[in-house]
Amino acid sequence: MRNLNAAVGAVLLVALVGWLMIWVMLPTKAYKNSWDPNLSSTHFNSVYFQGQGTNLLLFSFPAMFIAALGCVYLHFHTRLQGPFSSSKREVKPKLISPLWRPYVISPLGIVTGVELAFMAMFIALLIWSLANYLYVSFGHLHMHKQGEKIWQAKFRSVSLRLGYVGNICWAFLFFPVTRGASLLPLIGLTSDSTIKYHIWLGHVSNVLFALHTIGFVVYWGMTNQMSEMLEWSRTYVSNVAGEIAMAIAVVMWVTSFGRVRRKMFEVFFYTHHLYVLYILFYLLHVGADYLCMILPGMFLFMIDRYLRFLQSQRNARLISARLLPCGSVELNFSKCPGLKYNPTSILFINIPTISKLQWHPFTVTSNSNLEPNNLSLVVKSLGSWSRKLSQQISSSVDRLQASVEGPYGPISSHFLRHEELVLISGGSGITPFISIIREIIFQSSNPNPQIPSRILLICAFKNSTDLAMLDLLLPFDGTPHPIPELLNLQIEAYITREKDQPTDSEKQPAQTKRFNPAQSDRPISANLGPNAWLWLGAIIVSSFALFVLLLGVVTRFYIYPIDRNAHDGSYHYSYFILWDVFLACAGVLAVSSMVFLVKKRRDLAEGNRVKGLEVGVSPQPPGSFVGEVESVPVQCVAGATNVHFGRRPDLKRILLGCGASDVGVMACGPRSLRHEVAQICSPGSAQNLHFESISFNW
Ligand SMILES: NC(=O)c1ccc[n+]([C@@H]2O[C@H](COP(=O)([O-])OP(=O)(O)OC[C@H]3O[C@@H](n4cnc5c(N)ncnc54)[C@H](OP(=O)(O)O)[C@@H]3O)[C@@H](O)[C@H]2O)c1
Ligand code: HEM
Ligand SMILES: *[C@@H]1O[C@H](CO)[C@@H](O)[C@H](O)[C@H]1NC(C)=O
C-alpha cells in the first residue's frame, strides 16, 4: 500500500512538472508555430471544441488530473498515517537548511527560503514569458493601422503581452483561496497560510492589467483610434468588457490594500465579492481560449465555494457558551463523531442575528480525539461583531442560530516530531496552542507516545483576567483533568499592562449558559475534502467530465452548424464564452449537489444518533431553558505556571537558551510579535530553531 501511494505521489510530481513546463513553453516560437497549430487543426478539435480543445488538453486537463489524483493520494496518505495522527519523528539533520528558515522582509511579512525560491521562479516565468512573446511578436510585427509607425506597433505589442503575462497570474490566483482544496495539502500547505500567495498574485496581476489597459488607451490615443474604446466585437475580444473588468479590478484593488483591510475589514470584505462580476467580464474580454488556460483554478474554486455554500445552509447545533472573566466566549457545538480534524484547524462562523453576510474565522480549541461529540472555539471580544456576540449570549436568548464552514486545517500534526516545542503567543493568539497542547495530551495517553520531551508555552496577555484562557488548556467536561505525568509542560505567562499582582486575586468563575437548540439544528458534520477526499475527487472528476461532454455536444450540434452557415464570419465571440461559463457552472452545480445530498443522508443518520446521546447526557429535560450555571474553575495548570507582571517576555534570551538540537518554535498573535520571533529564528541566528508562524495573515 505504502509503495503504491509513493508511486501515485511520483505520478503527481511528474504531472505537476509537466503542467508547469507547458507554461514555460507557451510563449515560445516552437509552441506558437508547431505545437499549437498541430493540435488545433485536428477535425475533432474544431468540430467539437472550436479549437478550445488544445488548451483544454494542455492546460486544464493536467491540473484537474493532479487535483483528482491528489485526492486519492491524500486519502491513502491519511489512512496510512492513521487518521490525523502525527507523522513519525524523522531522523533530522542537525542543521536546518536555510531554505526552511524564516526571513522577515518588509512588505511581504515572514517568508521562508523556499517561498523566496518559488517567488523568484515565478517572477522568472513572467519575465521569460514577456521576453519570448515580444521576441516572437517583434519578429514579424503586425501593423494594425495604415501609416502606423514601427515604434507604435511595438508599443501596442508590449501592452498586449503585459496582459498575456497577467493572465498567467490568474492561472494560480484561485488555488490559495480554495479552502478544501487537494492541491495545497499535497505540498504541505494550508489555505489560511496561503492567502498571502493570493494577495501577492492579486497585486502583481493588477499591476500588469493596469499597464495593459493604460497602454492600449495611450496607443489608441496616439493612433487616432479612440472609437476602439467602445467596441464590443462579434469576432474578437471585446474592449468594453475589458474596460468594465478593469474598472471593477481597480475598486477591488484599492480596498484590498493592507491599511484599508485592517482598518475597515467590512469594506474590503464586501467589495471583494465583486470578484464574481470581475471574473465574468474578464472572461468576456479574454475569450474562450484564454479561459481554458486558466480554467482549473477557477473550476476548483467554484466547486469548493459551492460545497461551502451547501454546508452553510444548515444551522449548526450550538449547545452552550462559556463566558470567561476576560470577556472571551467559548462556544460549544455538537458534532458528529465521524468528523476528525487536526490541531490549529479553523472554523468560519456566521451568526445571522448579528450579520447575515459576515463570516469570521476562529481557531478550533477542542480536540477531535478527546472530545468526539463536541467542537469548541474561543471568540475574543475585539471588534463590533464579537462584542455583539457577547451581548447576545448575555441576553436572555435561549437559542443562537449559527452556520459554519469548515473546519479547515493541516493534514498532519507535524509539530509533534520536534524534540522540544516552544509556543509563543500574544493575546488571543493562544487559541491554536490550546488545540496543540490538547493534541499532545491525547498523544501522551497512547502507548509509546511520540511527543516532544519538553513543551514551553510563553504567553503574553495585557491583563491578569486574561489568564483565564489558560484554564482552557485542559479539556473541560465538568470535572478537572490533571496534566498527564508524561507531559513536561512549562508555562510562562507575562501580564504586560499590570505592574503587580492584583490584590483582589479572587478568581472570577466562568459562567456557562446552555442553549436550547431547535430540532433542525444539525451537529457539525464533515465537509467534503479533508474528511472525505475520495468524495471530493469524485466530484472533481465527474463535474469536469460533464463540463467537457456538455461543451462538446453543444458545440457540435448547436454552435458548429451556426458557425458554418454564418454570413458574417462566425458565432458571436461573447456568446461562446457565456456558454463555457454556463456549462462549467452547470457541471459543478449538478454533480456537487448530487454528491452532497447522498452524503447528507448519511450525516443525518449519524447526526440523529448524536442528538439522541445529547439528550441522554443532559441533566435538564430537553426544551427547558437553563440559564447560567457556574462552573468549577480549573486550577490544574496553576502548578506548571509562572506569572510575570509588568513586562514583555525577553524572547531572544529564552529562545537562544534552548539547548536541544531540534526546537520547534511556533508563534501566534500580533504581527510585531510574530516578526520578532521569526527574526530570532532567521538564518545567521541560532541553528537549532525551527520556526513556524500560524496566522490567518490578513
Ligand atoms: N490562528 C490564528 O492565526 C490566530 C488565532 C487567534 C488570534 N490571532 C491573532 O492574534 C492577535 C492577537 O491580538 P489580541 O488583541 O488578542 O492581543 P492583545 O490583547 O493586543 O495582546 C497582545 C499581547 O502580546 C504582547 N506583545 C505584542 N507584541 C509583542 C512582542 N513583540 N513581544 C512580546 N510581547 C508582545 C502585548 O504586550 P503589550 O501590552 O506590551 O503590547 C500583549 O500583552 C490578533 O491579531 C489575532 O488576529 C490569530
Ligand atoms: C486580481 C484580482 C482579485 C481577484 C479576482 C480575487 C478573487 C478572490 C476570490 C475569488 C476570493 C475568495 C472569496 C471567498 O472565499 O468567497 C478572494 C479572497 C481573498 N482575497 Fe482576493 N482577489 C483579487 C485580488 C486580491 C488582492 C489584490 C488582495 C490583497 C489584499 C486580495 C485579498 C484577498 C483576501 C485576504 C481574501 C480572503 C477573504 C476570504 O476568504 O473571505 N485579493 N479573492
Ligand atoms: C460542551 O457540551 C457538552 C454537552 O453538554 C459537554 O459534555 C462538554 O463538556 C462541553 N464542552 C465544553 C468545552 O464546554
Higher-confidence residue of 101 and 301: namely: 301
pLDDT digits (tens, 9 = 90+) for 122-172: 999 999 999 999 999 999 888 887 888 899 999 999 999 999 999 999 999
Question: Any idea which architecture 318-516+624-694 has in CATH?
Answer: 3-Layer(aba) Sandwich (3.40)
Burial of 124 (C-beta count, 10 Å sphere; 0-12/13-18/19+):
exposed
Whether the CB of 673 sits within 6 Å of ligand 1: yes
Q: What is the mean pLDDT of the chain?
A: 86
Distance 318 CA to ligand 3 centre (A): 10
Whether the CB of 373 sits within 6 Å of ligand 3: no
pLDDT digits (tens, 9 = 90+) for 409-444: 887 777 888 889 999 999 999 999 999 999 998 888
Stated length of the chain: 698
**Exposed e or buried b for every residue in 370-399, given b needs 16+ CB within 10 A?**
bbbbbbbbbbbbeeebbeebbebbeeeeee
Q: What is the pLDDT of residue 455?
A: 93
Residue from 314, 367, 322, 310 nearest 342 by CA: 367
Confidence of residue 695 (pLDDT cuts 50, 70, 90): low
Q: What is the pLDDT of residue 87?
A: 46
pLDDT digits (tens, 9 = 90+) for 255-290: 999 888 888 888 999 999 999 999 999 999 999 889
Distance 259 CA to ligand 1 centre (A): 18
Residue from 490, 482, 368 nearest 424 by CA: 490
Which ligand places an atom closest to the C-alpha of 378? 1
Distance 425 CA to ligand 1 centre (A): 7
Distance 317 CA to ligand 2 centre (A): 30
Distance 320 CA to ligand 3 centre (A): 7
Confidence of residue 625 (pLDDT cuts 50, 70, 90): very low
Whether the CB of 477 sits within 6 Å of ligand 3: yes
Whether the CB of 238 sits within 6 Å of ligand 2: no
Whether the CB of 642 sits within 6 Å of ligand 1: no
pLDDT digits (tens, 9 = 90+) for 500-513: 877 665 667 778 88
With a cut of 90, say whether residue 384 has pLDDT above it: no
State which ligand 1 atom lies nearest to the alpha carbon of 382.
15
Distance 256 CA to ligand 3 centre (A): 39
Q: Which of 393-397, 421-425, 462-466 has the lowest mean pLDDT?
A: 393-397
Burial of 448 (C-beta count, 10 Å sphere; 0-12/13-18/19+):
exposed
Identify the residue whose C-alpha is closest to ligand 2 atom 33: 199
Q: Is the peptide bond before 176 cis (omega within 30 degrees of 0)?
A: no
pLDDT digits (tens, 9 = 90+) for 528-559: 777 788 999 999 999 999 999 999 999 999 88
Which ligand places an atom closest to the C-alpha of 626? 3
Higher-confidence residue of 124 and 87: namely: 124
Whether the CB of 649 sits within 6 Å of ligand 1: yes
Whether the CB of 695 sits within 6 Å of ligand 1: yes
- 511520483: which residue's cell? 10
Distance 459 CA to ligand 1 centre (A): 9
Distance 429 CA to ligand 1 centre (A): 6
Whether the CB of 322 sits within 6 Å of ligand 3: yes
Identify the residue whose C-alpha is closest to ligand 1 atom 33: 648
State which ligand 1 atom lies nearest to the alpha carbon of 363.
1
Whether the CB of 205 sits within 6 Å of ligand 2: yes
Q: Give Cβ neighbours of residue 676 (< 8 Å, ≥ 6 apart).
A: 651
Calculate mean pLDDT across residues 370-378. 92
pLDDT digits (tens, 9 = 90+) for 17-49: 999 999 999 999 999 888 888 888 888 888 888
Q: What is the pLDDT of residue 503?
A: 67
Identify the residue whose C-alpha is closest to ligand 1 atom 32: 673
Q: CA-CA distance, 694 to 673, in Å (whole number)?
A: 12
Higher-confidence residue of 638 and 198: namely: 198
Q: Per-domain residue ranges for the chain?
A: 318-516+624-694
Which ligand places an atom closest to the C-alpha of 696? 1
Whether the CB of 199 sits within 6 Å of ligand 2: yes
State which ligand 3 atom lies nearest to the alpha carbon of 365.
13
What's the grid cell of residue 397? 436568548
Calculate mean pLDDT across residues 178-182. 81
Whether the CB of 319 sits within 6 Å of ligand 3: yes
Distance 424 CA to ligand 1 centre (A): 10
Supply angle C-alpha 627, 335, 668, rounded to 5: 90
State which ligand 2 atom lies nearest to the alpha carbon of 249.
2
Q: What is the pLDDT of residue 612?
A: 65
Query: Torsions phi, psi of 332, nearest 5?
Result: -120, 110
Q: What is the pLDDT of residue 195?
A: 87
Identify the residue whose C-alpha is closest to ligand 2 atom 41: 269
The pLDDT > 70 percentage for the chain reads 90
Supply angle C-alpha 374, 379, 383, rounded to 5: 155
Q: What H or E segment, with its residue span, contains residue 420?
A: strand 420-426
Distance 669 CA to ligand 1 centre (A): 4
Identify the residue whose C-alpha is closest to ligand 1 atom 31: 673
The pLDDT > 90 percentage for the chain reads 48
- 500500500: which residue's cell? 1
Identify the residue whose C-alpha is closest to ligand 3 atom 1: 332
